[in-house]
Amino acid sequence: MVAPIYRIQFPPANSERLTQDAVEFGLVTDDTVQMLRFHDYSEIYKRPGLYEELFYGRLRCNSPGKVMELLERALQTDREPLTELRILDLGAGNGMMGEVLNRHGVARLVGVDIIPEARDAAFRDRPTVYDAYYVADLASVGGHLHDELKQWDFDCLTCVAALGFGDIPPRAFFNAIRFIKPNGWLAFNIKHSFLDVDDQTGFSRLVRALVFSKYFDVYHLELYRHRLSMEGRQLFYYALVGRLTAPLPDDFLESHGIAD
Ligand SMILES: C[S@@+](CC[C@H](N)C(=O)[O-])C[C@H]1O[C@@H](n2cnc3c(N)ncnc32)[C@H](O)[C@@H]1O
- pLDDT (tens digit, 9 = 90+) per residue, 24-43? 999 998 889 999 999 999 99
Among 87, 167, 173, the mutation site with the greatest number of ligand 1 atoms within 8 A of its Cβ is 167
Res. 95: pLDDT tops 90: yes
- The DSSP letter of residue 183 is T
Res. 19: pLDDT tops 80: no
Q: How confident is the model at residue 233 (pLDDT cuts 50, 70, 90)?
A: very high
Res. 195: pLDDT tops 90: no
Q: How confident is the model at residue 2 (pLDDT cuts 50, 70, 90)?
A: confident
> Looking at ligand 1, which atom is closest to the CA of residue 138?
20
Cβ < 6 A, ligand 1 pocket:
41, 64, 91-93, 96-97, 112-115, 118, 137-138, 160-162, 167-168, 172
Expressed in angstroms, the distance from the first to the final Cα of the chain is 40
Cα(138)–Cα(90) distance, integer angstroms = 9
Residues present in the chain in total = 260
Ligand 1 centroid–CA 167 distance in Å is 6
Among 21, 56, 114, 163, the mutation site with the greatest number of ligand 1 atoms within 8 A of its Cβ is 114
What are the residue boundaries of the structural domains of the chain, listed by start? 7-58, 63-255
Between 55-64, 82-91, 137-146, 160-169, the lowest mean confidence (pLDDT) is in 160-169
Cα(215)–Cα(210) distance, integer angstroms = 7
Between 118-132, 163-177, 179-193, the lowest mean confidence (pLDDT) is in 163-177
- The DSSP letter of residue 249 is P
Instruction: Give the pLDDT confidence score for residue 200 in this predicted structure.
Output: 83
Determine whether domain 63-255 maps to CATH 3.30.590.20.
no
Between 59-73, 120-134, 157-171, 172-186, the lowest mean confidence (pLDDT) is in 157-171
